Amino acid sequence: MNHIAVKDAALSVRPIGPTFGAEVSLMPINGDVSPELLTQFISLLHRYRVLVVPSVYADPADLVAFSARFGPLEIHSRFENTLPAHREVFCVGNVERDGMKASFSRGVEQWHADSSYRSVPSDASLFYGEIVPPEGGETMFADATAAYRSLDSVMKRQIEGLQAMHSLETLRLWGQRHNPERTGDIGSQAVEFPAVRQPLVRVHPATGAKSLYVCPAVISHIEGLDAAASSALIEALIAHIAQPRFVYSHRWHKGDLVMWDNRAVLHTASLFDHTRFQRLMYRTTVAGNAPALAA
**48, 92, 161, 239 from 249: Cα distances, Å:** 15, 18, 30, 16
The backbone torsions φ and ψ at residue 102, rounded to the nearest 5 degrees and listed phi first, read: -70, 155
**Residue placing its CB nearer to ligand OGA in the complex, 22 or 280:** 280
Q: Which does 238 bind (CB under 5 to 8 A by kind): ligand OGA, Mn ion, none?
A: none
DSSP string, 155-189: HHHHHTT-EEEE-HHHHHHHHHHH-TTS-STTTHH
Question: What is the nearest approach in angstroms of ligand OGA to the Cβ of residue 281?
Answer: 5
Question: What is the nearest approach in angstroms of Mn ion to the Cβ of residue 109?
Answer: 12
Q: Which does 142 bind (CB under 5 to 8 A by kind): ligand OGA, Mn ion, none?
A: none
Q: Which does 287 bind (CB under 5 to 8 A by kind): ligand OGA, Mn ion, none?
A: none
**Residue placing its CB nearer to ligand OGA in the complex, 233 or 281:** 281
Q: Which does 92 bind (CB under 5 to 8 A by kind): ligand OGA, Mn ion, none?
A: ligand OGA
- For residues 141 and 147, the answer to whether their CB atoms sit within 8 Å is no
Query: Residue with CB nearest Mn ion?
Result: 114
Question: What is the nearest approach in angstroms of ligand OGA to the Cβ of residue 95?
Answer: 12
Question: What is the nearest approach in angstroms of ligand OGA to the Cβ of residue 269?
Answer: 3
Question: What is the nearest approach in angstroms of ligand OGA to the Cβ of residue 89?
Answer: 11
Among 23, 74, 114, 138, binds Mn ion (CB under 5 A): 114
Q: Considering only the stretches 21-29, 110-118, 161-169, 187-195, report the one whose residues sit in contact with Mn ion under the rule CB under 5 A.
A: 110-118
- Could you tell me which of 54, 103, 98, 114 has the C-alpha nearest to residue 78? 103
**Residue placing its CB nearer to ligand OGA in the complex, 43 or 270:** 270
Q: Which residues bind ligand OGA (CB under 6 A)?
A: 92, 114, 139, 267, 269, 281, 283
- For residues 56 and 29, the answer to whether their CB atoms sit within 8 Å is yes
List b or e across 145-179, with b for residues whose CB sees 16 or more CB atoms inside 10 angstroms.
bbbbeebeeeeeeebeebebbbbbbbbbebbeeee
The backbone torsions φ and ψ at residue 57, rounded to the nearest 5 degrees and listed phi first, read: 45, 60
- Contact residues toward Mn ion (CB under 5 A) are 114
